[in-house]
Amino acid sequence: MDRRPSPSRTAPGAHRTTAWPLALAAICLVVYASLYPFADWRNQGISPLRFLTAPLPKYWTGFDVGINLLGYAPLGFLLALSALRSQRAFWAISVAVVSSGLLSLSMETLQSYLPSRVPSNVDLALNTLGAWLGACCAWALEKVGVVDRWSRFRVRWFSQDARGALVLLLLWPLALLFPASVPMGLGQVFERLESALAEALADTPFLEWMPVRDMELQPLVPMAELLCVALGALIPCLLGYCVIRTRWKRAAFSVAVLAVGIAASALSAALSYGPQHAWAWLDVPVQVGLGLTAVLAMLLLAVPRRGAAALTLLALAIHLGLLNQAPADPYFAQTLQIWEQGRFIRFYGVVQWLGWLWPYAAMLHVLLRLSGRERAQAAET
């Protein structure tokens, strides 16, 4: 499995890999899914490492095996992919597997303090095996040249300081899997944040400090919903324009963004309401909003990259302002409860955090970009 590092991995001024920040996101997902619901921590009077020598469980399901394998495979893949830039294949795979195994050991140990979770030596073994499979997949893709082809594609299409934007764009379809009250409407947090803050400040004098609204939040009128949909789909297009140079590449990118956004929204509806309702969200205001996105994306093809960043920031501000002035309807709130208690692709509601936080992470990224810090960091590497 050993091979000499390619010049592209060691050349000065090479693009910074997106695999490492994506690996950090995968680690956050694993920690969240392993320790959810983060409640009722207690010492149960047994050694936290007792599960290592416990007998094998008598009952297991294919779902348990699959989720433990697949849960750590992306982490092993991303860790190995980031390590392959600077290390030989054997060491890159070893680092990925050992790091993932230590993370799994830590999670299983901490589960000993959660009555609702059961640590297992089989889970530890399957997690480590999944990380090894993911790392081997990364090595195989690098061996057959897929990684080098991606690197050449990235050089042709994106600027050198594109890492932050690429990470956000890769996470955007996952964020759309969390059901939104308005299609493409990520970041609707005001009502929940207000309720959570009021609950935290209950029975304290600080509760009186909270501002009192004169009237309840009102549902969006069709025109406002149309604008939210248009801006929600336009934001990732503009984010891509920040790091894509030529017009025809921007045009192809915007078409791909719209296609991926529609597909992810349909998948979210199918998971939430059933396959027969996969396209129920695509009503007239949404269709007009997506059409408006296509028109605006074409009209803005020639905008300079710094201008695209400024327009992204403006679109985010208007989008979040409109979206957070509307409440979630009761049927939608019931759907969220199902998602938060679910498993598999929902990972105990972890996807909701992407849906809530993605626009604010994008806003922070664009602010840093406009300030010139990201470009300076890219020049230093």
| Tens digits of residue pLDDT in 95-122 | 899 999 999 999 989 988 888 788 888 8
Across the chain, mean pLDDT equals 80
pLDDT(33) > 90: no
Residue 328's alpha-carbon distances to 36, 185, 271, in angstroms, are: 24, 12, 19
pLDDT at 328: 61
The burial of 147, by beta-carbon neighbours within 10 Å (0-12 exposed, 13-18 middle, 19 or more buried), is given as buried
pLDDT at 4: 41
Tell me the DSSP string of 291-345: HHHHHHHHHTTTS-HHHHHHHHHHHHHHHHHHHTTSPPPHHHHHHHHHHHH--GG
| Tens digits of residue pLDDT in 196-230 | 677 777 777 776 666 655 556 666 788 888 999 99
Q: Ranked by mean pLDDT, which of 149-153, 174-178, 231-235, 272-276 comes out on top? A: 231-235
**3-class state of residue 158 by DSSP:** strand
pLDDT at 380: 42
- The distance from CA 12 to its chain's CA centroid, rounded to whole angstroms, is 30
Quick check: 303 and 234 in contact, CB under 8 A? no
Quick check: 122 and 128 in contact, CB under 8 A? no
**CA–CA separation, 46 and 109 (whole Å):** 11
**Arithmetic mean of pLDDT, 261-273:** 86
pLDDT(82) > 80: yes
pLDDT at 49: 82
Residue 320's alpha-carbon distances to 11, 94, 228, 251, 356, in angstroms, are: 41, 44, 8, 25, 11
pLDDT(315) > 70: yes
Grade residue 349 by pLDDT with cuts at 50, 70 and 90: low
Give percent of the chain above pLDDT 90. 30
CA angle 15, 309, 264 (to 5 degrees): 80
> Considering the entire predicted model, what is its pTM?
0.75
**CA–CA separation, 277 and 255 (whole Å):** 24
